[in-house]
Amino acid sequence: MFKELFDTYDWDEVKASIYAKTEGEVVEALNKTHRNPEDFKALISPAALPFLEEMSQLSHALTLKRFGNTMQMYVPLYLSNECQNICNYCGFSFDNHIKRKTLTDDEILKEVAAIKAWGYEHVLLVTGEANQTVGVPYLKHAVQLIREHFANISIEVQPLEENEYQELAEEGLNAVLVYQETYHKDNYKAHHPKGKKSNFYYRLETPDRLGKAGVHKIGLGVLLGLEDWRVDSFFTALHLDYLEKTYWQTKYAVSFPRLRPAEGVLLPKMELRDKELAQLICAYRLFNGEIELSISTRENEKFRNNIIKLGITSISAGSKTNPGGYAVEPESLEQFAISDERTPAEIATMLKQNGYEPVWKDWDLALMTTRHDH
Amino acid sequence: MESKGLKIGDKIFNSRLFTGTGKFSSSGLMEQALLASGSELVTVALKRVDAQNEDDDILKHLGHPQFNLLPNTSGVRTAKEAVFAAQMAREALETNWLKLEIHPDPKYLLPDPIETLKAAEELVKLGFIVLPYVHADPVLCKRLEEVGVAAVMPLGSPIGSNKGLRAKDFLEIIIAQSKVPVVVDAGIGAPSHAAEAMEMGADALLVNTAIAVAGDPVRMAIAFKMAVDAGRMAFEARLAKPSGLAVASSPLTAFLED
């Protein structure tokens, strides 16, 4: 389990070693063909910032080689904003007095129709953590309800048990996104004072459970800005490296949620500037030529138009972060503010203008026999 | 002398350049490049197409009589999944041709020899024309031949790497002993690599990344076509081998002539 490796590291020592990286170490990392976690540290360090153009060129070339001139399209479908957790940065936090909503079957299908009308064949289901209302039975039912409409179904929900992941995979679930939020063990408790989510190690070991359950793809990430983003990103890269070696049949993806203002939440402890986010994305690509890197509508139009050439392989468009946001109840409260309001068609046009083919379908339930055994 | 066509299964191909459909910046450009390449066998990932949809962007652009579709099973991890996916592909795309790809490792996309052999055996029995993507493993290629595959597709180097024929020594053995056509599948990064493989006696090549991500995919497709043709012609014309041997002034075998 990753815990054993993780516990051999000390946050402050890692931090000191990142900030002590020199120009020489950055150049050494740039000149390698295979880069290790120490190289990743150099590439995310302040010493690498003057090399951003070189990093971008390398990142672009590596991404082109692996992914070609294509960009995966994705969209979230929020099923519920009910949540028993207190997270001091989230709009859906238990202590925020907002109207709670969980979609019914009819409502889910209305949302599905709206998403399908845009051309999406993949969908990402999102919920808060409320085991009475949106536990495994609800999720399983939702997957069964929508699977005939999509070639690929992902979820971003509370961490589950290995057998629960297996159960969902058998119904056609392909990918699970689970963000650690922060690898700072002590401050994690401060950010998550109440609810099941307050158990740091249970969350940390979630990707291990996913790997054992045989889920096809695991998405990792931290909430950038909650703590020092460099240290958090190093631990993410370390986690990724461990997972790839341990669960070698699994595909991996990394997302870059930057802490954004939402209703009733705190401001970033350490702001991640645009330049640094670009540096971070390039560093991941240089560290791992095959990883999927995705960018959401948290980022604004100008940044997204340009960041796609620096290593990104999937992009969301038209996202709503409120349950019912597409068709049922478009005006309800969002989890976080969207910064790029363009429609999927507009994003597709922008991609084509930049020489990318938007990919709406890149999976097929026919490739997963497990669910046909029943 | 006119080069003879290549027979695989029940079909004869005049072009020995097979192509892939991934990584192009648009389906329109893919279509132009594949037409320019002269390719007659085009592989399509089952996961990328929606065969139920008449307007599927990729399939729409492949609707030319010279293009024979070769569905592939990219994405499956086991023989069992491959057999199921193959049956779906046959139904959806109305062809019993299949590029069998089983790479449980999504990072390097390297083929699983054990699952591939198992699936090939079963698929042949189910009436498929099976072209398996495999390591440049001569023994595995013979085993696949024995279970009835229509051709073998060993990789030249890691897929998408553009590194050329890193597995050359093993490819030579495969070519020397194979009774079914040998199609070098992955890693061909430049027309010079293509010519080299054809000069060695490969029956055909499959090229995707090197064409799709070139600055000008259409011209690159033509360059590959020319390289494949030139390499094949050189092979048929029996290449003069560079000789490392000096002819001694006092031959060791002179006594035999006395």
Tens-place pLDDT, residues A350-360? 999 999 999 99
**Domain boundaries, position A119:** 2-373
Task: Tell me whether residues B48 and A68 touch, CB distance under 8 A.
Answer: no
Q: Name the amino acid, one letter, at B78.
A: T
Residue B4 forms contact with A (CB below 8 Å): no
Q: How many helices (H) and strands (E) does chain A have?
A: 16, 10
Contact partners, residue A316, CB within 8 Å, separation at least 6 = A73, A74, A75, A76, A294, A295, A296, A297
Question: pLDDT-derived band of residue A373, with 50, 70 and 90 as boundaries?
Answer: very low
Element at B235 (helix H, strand E): helix B217-236
CB atoms within 10 A of CB A6: 17
Residues of A in CB contact (< 8 Å) with B are: 64-70, 121, 151, 216, 244, 248-251, 290, 352, 355-357, 359, 361-364, 366-369, 372
CATH of the domain at A66: 3.20.20.70
Tell me the C-alpha to C-alpha distance, in Å, between residue A195 and each of A84, A156, B94. Answer: 6, 17, 53
Closest among B73, B77, B76, B102 to B86, alpha carbons compared: B73
Q: How many Cβ atoms sit within 10 Å of the Cβ of residue A181? A: 23
Strand ranges inside chain A, DSSP E: 70-74, 76-78, 122-126, 152-156, 173-177, 217-220, 251-255, 292-295, 314-316, 357-359
A233 has a pLDDT exceeding 90: yes
User: For residue B80, which residues of chain A lie inside 8 Å, CB to CB?
Assistant: 369
Element (H, E) at B204: strand B204-207
* Contact criterion met (CB below 8 Å) for B172 and B200: yes
The Cα A313–Cα A273 span in angstroms is: 21
Q: Cβ contacts (< 8 Å) between A357 and chain B: which residues?
A: 24-27
Hey, are the CB atoms on A364 and B47 less than 8 Å from each other? yes
Do the bridges between strand A292-295 and strand A357-359 make them parallel or antiparallel, or are there none, so unpaired? unpaired
Residue in B125, B72, B130 with CA at minimum distance from that of residue B101:
B72
pLDDT band per the 50, 70, 90 thresholds, residue A180: very high
Instruction: Pick from A62, A69, A121, A351 the residue to mutate for testing the B interface (most B CBs within 10 Å).
Output: A69
- What's the whole-number mean pLDDT along residues A50-59? 97
Distance CA B46, CA B20 (A): 12
A249-276 pLDDT tens trace: 999 999 999 986 655 566 778 889 999 9
Chain A residue at shortest CA distance from B91: A366
Q: In whole angstroms, what is the distance from residue B31 CA to residue B43 CA?
A: 13
Domain boundaries, chain B: 6-257
Q: CA distances (Å), B58 to each of B22, B38, B55, B68, B207, in order? A: 10, 18, 9, 14, 17
> Is residue A374 scored above 50 in pLDDT?
no
Q: Which residue of A has its CA nearest to B92?
A: A366
The arithmetic mean of pLDDT across residues A325-350, rounded, is 88
Q: Rounded distance, CA B242 to CA B81, Å?
A: 47
pLDDT exceeds 60 at position A372: no
B85–A69 C-beta distance less than 8 A:
no
State which H helix or E strand residue B162 sits in.
none
**What residue in B sits closest to A371 (Cα-Cα)?**
B81
A315: which 2 tokens? 């992009």
- What is the model's pTM? 0.92
Q: Which of A153, A254, A357 to mutate to test the interface with B (most CBs of B within 10 A)?
A: A357
Q: What is the pLDDT of residues A102-138, one digit of tens each?
A: 999 999 999 999 999 999 999 999 999 998 899 999 9
What class does CATH assign to B6-257?
A: alpha beta
Question: In chain A, whose CA is at the least distance from the CA of B217?
Answer: A69
**B31, two tokens:** 């279509």
pLDDT at A40 over 60: yes
Give the position of tokens 């009436």: B127
Give every CB contact of residue A240 below 8 A, 6+ residues apart in sequence: A220, A252, A254, A288, A291
Q: Which of B47, B99, B125, B179 is catalytic?
A: B99
- Chain B residues inside the 8 Å CB shell of A248: 105, 107
Number of domains observed in the structure of chain A: 1
Phi, psi of A152 (to 5 degrees): -155, 130
Beta strands B153-154 and B129-134 are parallel
Instruction: Give A249's contacts in chain B (Cβ within 8 Å).
Output: 77, 104-106
Helix and strand tally (H, E) in chain B? 9, 10
CA distance B242 to chain A (A): 34
- pLDDT per residue over A190-205, tens digit each? 999 988 999 999 999 9
**B127 C-beta neighbours (distance < 10 Å), count:** 9
Amino acid B62: pLDDT: 96
The reported pLDDT for the residue numbered A25 is: 98
Closest residue by Cα to residue A66 from A329, A324, A334, A284: A284
Q: Are the Cβ atoms of A369 and B81 closer than 8 angstroms? A: yes
| CA distance linking residue B107 with residue A281, whole number of Å | 18
Looking at beta carbons, which residues of chain A come within 8 Å of B26? 69, 352, 357
A chain contacts of residue B220, beta-carbon cutoff 8 Å: none
Residues of chain B with pLDDT under 50: none
State the pLDDT at residue A270.
84
Asked if the Cβ–Cβ distance from B23 to A67 is below 8 Å, we say yes
ipTM of the complex: 0.86
Active site residue B11: no
